[in-house]
Amino acid sequence: MAKVERNTLLAIFWALGCEEHAIEDDDEENARIAGESARKLVREYLGEMSDAEWCELKHYGLSYVNTAEQIGKKMRRGEDWSHLAEHRNAMSARINDLVEEILKKE
């Protein structure tokens, strides 16, 4: 299994979140593409995992994407987004914990 770098982890969570986001928007083609990318990245960098771990990763991936979208909108409008930064930091810490738990199993 390859060494996992921070940017690789972000790509994994972004792909997971994009898949869920596309599903919510009934966008089957983009959901399929993002899902295939996410599964490939997860298998390559994190290995096999349980259904519960997969669901938790997808949950945090969607939260990651939604928070990034909200921050981007507020930044473009010149609005304060510091409260979202706190959420993003807490979520990033939980994502790091999840990945550590998964990698320890190997």
Residues 67-96: tens digit of each pLDDT: 888 888 999 999 999 888 888 888 778 877
Instruction: Please give the mean pLDDT across all residues of the chain.
Output: 82
For residue 50, the 8-state DSSP code is -
41 Cβ contact partners less than 8 Å away, ≥ 6 residues apart = 8, 11, 12, 15
Per the CB < 8 A criterion, the answer to whether 8 and 41 are in contact is yes
pLDDT at 104 over 70: yes
Q: Rounded mean pLDDT of 39-67?
A: 83
Per the CB < 8 A criterion, the answer to whether 67 and 18 are in contact is no
Residue 12 amino acid letter: I
